Structure 1
Amino acid sequence: MTSPPRTVNAAASTSSTPASTVDARLQAVIFDWAGTLVDHGSLAPTQIFVDAFATFGIDLALEDARGPMGLSKRDHIRTLLVEAHVQAQWRARFGRSSSEADIDAIYERFMPMQIEHVGRYSRPIPGAVETLAALRRAGLKIGSCSGYPRQVMAVLLPQAMADGIHVDHVVAGDDLAAGGRPGPFMALANVLALGIGDVRTCVKVDDTTPGIEEGRNAGMWTVGVSLSGNETGLTLAQLQALPQPELAARRAAASQRLLAAGAHLVVDSVADLPAALADIEARRAGGERP
């Protein structure tokens, strides 16, 4: 179920071209991975951050770990370490502020743990396989990018493919010298690889605010995912067990954060994406641009 459309950059989005001259068809959809295509609740990265920090004697709550989700994993660690309560723990434990060398040390501890455990969370989100098949039938190209480094994606991809998740291109969080989210670089690398001539015919789909900002910075349409990913952070079973009022409240809160980051539309999960794409094509036919 989609939220009411919201245009963040009104000047860009309301510029009109006569509908008769507009080719409304989209050319590509670029997906995030954890929380968007696989791993309902985006549990693999968040729990491993908690576990990795714990090996240094730092108590990190799961909600703390979720805060910077969408960034590359090294940037995620850097962002967590500058949080006041985390930095206070670090100084109490080691008698000094954290350094770049400490970021490296945590990252080196994190990586083998993430590689070991990512497969546990590789199951497709319900509706993902069917949605990808529908996009292919419609002639759309399918790109993807992730905050996961290439070593982790090398473990995740074969398992996801065995479960029916097939994409045309993958950009990992450490592939590009230019950096990751919220910059546009991973999304634009997909545009180049897929041979798309106009970024305005692309849609970025993501469950995190940096991922939405990435799509906006790349000049694309953006669709946020509210219930299956990081902004809600629950397994499918946990989500299904919620009373309806609490489910509605969580949907509204997640949608508000994604819309504030610049999402043009928000859906519950990737299963609802085809209706959102139809909405975007209707808006394009009317001359609207992202």
Structure 2
Amino acid sequence: MSKIEAVVLDWAGTVVDYGSVAPTTIFVEAFKQAFNFEVSLDEARVPMGMGKWDHIKALGQLSSVDARWKKQFGQSMTDTVVDDIYQTFMPLQKAKVADHAQPIAGALRTIEWLKAHDIKVGSCSGYPREVMEILVPVAADYGYQPDAWVASDDLPAGSRPGPWMALQNVIELGVTDVANCIKFDDSAPGITEGLTAGMWTVGLALTGNAVGLTESEWQTLSISEQAALKQKAYDTLYQAGAHYVVDSLADAIPVIQKITAARVRHLRP
């Protein structure tokens, strides 16, 4: 069978939370509360898409952050420190995630098109299960109900950039061939996840981490500023290996049709 059987969607910055704001700001706040240490929003975005514990560790390993941490504390961050920041992060994230559960404009229209064409909708996230258990029902109240969802701490093998969450969706959705799946994501680790799972991958440039602005912030920019940020986001996602990049999930239907045509010709990712 050579047809698209399923898509696997990221959450923040892909379907909900324009700009992927909820996790980014909480990372900054968690470092501040736990250790009175400053990280910038730009630094916090670098590992975006990974599981949150792994994200904190990767953030601490950035050269700029590591240098400041050593200056303040005399050594690099340890896993015990990561644990402490993670424990601070979790209640903050749980308190805020529902505030960013509204679907991005046009996302539900594309999802309705998918279901009308008998394409199943899976999903996975860098959020752990205890955060997803808050986010999922609130998103459902807004009209978003994927056929499956997988959290970053559900699988013993780990999470992004590995393929395991995407492949768990394949299992739960009963997909017969991973080449009949498309992974949509706004971050490089999420694109890698889809690639290593053997799926087609589509990057979303404007609504998520690649630009990192809320919709209102984006709209205040000049045309030239928007163009520069858009080009950088497209470059970032293509460099991560995305087969296609579009502005948002609202713009995804033509790409899904192209990939469907490729599968009819028995082409694989």
Q: How far 1:248 moved relative to its partner?
A: 1.8
Identify the residue that residue 3 of structure 2 maps to in structure 1. Answer: 25
The question of whether the paired residues in 2 share the 8 Å contact of 1:58 and 1:86 is answered with: no
The answer to whether the Cα contact below 8 Å between 1:53 and 1:59 also exists between their aligned partners in 2 is: yes
User: Any gaps of 5 or more consecutive residues in structure 2?
Assistant: none
CA distance in 1, matches of 2:193, 2:64: 28
TM-score by length of 1: 0.90
Structure 1 residues 208-228: Cα deviation after superposition (integer angstroms, max 9, x where no partner): 000000000000000000000
Report deviation, 1:252.
1.2
| 2:244 is the alignment partner of 1:265 | yes
Q: Which residue of 2 aligns with 1:74?
A: 53
Q: Secondary structure at the match of 2:183?
A: strand
- Spell out, residue by residue over 1:191-233, the C-alpha distance to the aligned partner (whole angstroms, 9 max, x if none): 0000001000000000000000000000000000000000001
1:206 aligns with 2:185: yes
Tell me the distance in 1 between the aligned counterparts of 2:105 and 2:112: 13
Alignment size in residue pairs: 268
User: Does residue 46 of structure 1 match 2:19?
Assistant: no
Aligned to 2:119: 140
Correspondence for 1:97: 76
Runs of 4 or more above 3 Å deviation = none
CA distance in 2, matches of 1:132, 1:114: 26
In 1, the alpha carbon distance for the partners of 2:222 and 2:144 equals: 31
How far apart in 2 are the matches of 1:222 and 1:97?
A: 35
CA distance in 1, matches of 2:106, 2:11: 14
RMSD: 1.1
The question of whether the paired residues in 2 share the 8 Å contact of 1:50 and 1:62 is answered with yes
Please say which structure displays the higher CA radius of gyration: 1
1:116 corresponds to: 95
Quote how far apart the aligned CAs of 1:58 are: 1.2
Residue in structure 2 matched with residue 36 of structure 1 by the alignment: 14
Which residue number in structure 1 is paired with residue 168 of structure 2?
189
Structure 1 unaligned residues grouped into runs of 5+ = 1-22
RCO comparison, higher one (Cα < 8 Å, 6+)? 1
> How many Å apart are 1:278 and its aligned residue?
0.5
Instruction: Confirm whether residue 60 of structure 1 aligns to residue 39 of structure 2.
Output: yes
